Amino acid sequence: MRILVVEDEAVLRESLKTRLEAAGFTVDEARDGEEGLFAGREYPLDVAIVDLGLPQVPGLEVIRRLRGEGKTYPILILTARDNWQDKVEGLQAGADDYVAKPFHFEEVLARVQALLRRSGGWASPQLKCGPVVLDTRAQTVNVRGEAVELTTFEYRILEHLMLRAGEVISKSELTERLYDQDYERDSNVIEVLIGRLRRKLDPKDELQPIETLRGRGYRFALARDAGT
Ligand code: CA
21-73 residue pLDDT tens = 998 899 999 999 999 999 999 999 999 999 999 999 999 999 999 999 999 99
- pLDDT level of residue 176 (50, 70, 90 thresholds): confident
- 138 and 89 in a common domain: no
pLDDT recorded at residue 197: 97
Compute, in angstroms, the gap from residue 76 CA to the centroid of ligand 1: 14
Compute, in angstroms, the gap from residue 104 CA to the centroid of ligand 1: 17
Compute, in angstroms, the gap from residue 217 CA to the centroid of ligand 1: 39
Domain termination site, one of 80, 100, 119? 119
Compute, in angstroms, the gap from residue 50 CA to the centroid of ligand 1: 9
Q: Helix, strand, or coil here: 91? A: helix
- 149 and 102 in a common domain: no
- 136 and 203 in a common domain: yes
**Containing structural domain, residue 163:** 126-220
Per-residue pLDDT of 177-201, as tens digits, reads 776 655 566 768 889 999 999 999 9
- 134 and 74 in a common domain: no
Compute, in angstroms, the gap from residue 12 CA to the centroid of ligand 1: 9
- Residue 128's φ and ψ, nearest 5 degrees, are -115, 125
Per-residue pLDDT of 67-111, as tens digits, reads 999 999 999 999 987 788 999 999 999 999 999 999 999 999 999
**CA 51 to centroid of chain Cα atoms:** 18
pLDDT recorded at residue 184: 60
Integer Cα distance of 192 and 78 in angstroms? 38
Compute, in angstroms, the gap from residue 54 CA to the centroid of ligand 1: 5
User: 133 forms bridges with which residues in the sheet?
Assistant: 128, 142
| 44 close to 177: Cβ distance less than 8 angstroms | yes
- 136 and 213 in a common domain: yes
Compute, in angstroms, the gap from residue 2 CA to the centroid of ligand 1: 22
Residue 228 in domain: no
Angle at 83 between CA 79 and CA 40, to 5 degrees: 25
Is the model's pLDDT at 18 over the cut of 80? yes
Is the model's pLDDT at 221 over the cut of 60? yes
| CATH number, position 55 | 3.40.50.2300
pLDDT recorded at residue 84: 87
- 113 and 12 in a common domain: yes
**Which range has the top average pLDDT, 67-76, 148-157, 219-228?**
67-76
- 112 and 8 in a common domain: yes
Residue 135 in domain: yes
* pTM for the whole structure: 0.86
Compute, in angstroms, the gap from residue 48 CA to the centroid of ligand 1: 15
Is the model's pLDDT at 134 over the cut of 70? yes
- 115 and 65 in a common domain: yes
Residue 226 in domain: no
- 147 and 108 in a common domain: no
Residue 225 in domain: no
Compute, in angstroms, the gap from residue 40 CA to the centroid of ligand 1: 17
| 48 close to 4: Cβ distance less than 8 angstroms | yes
| CATH number, position 197 | 1.10.10.10
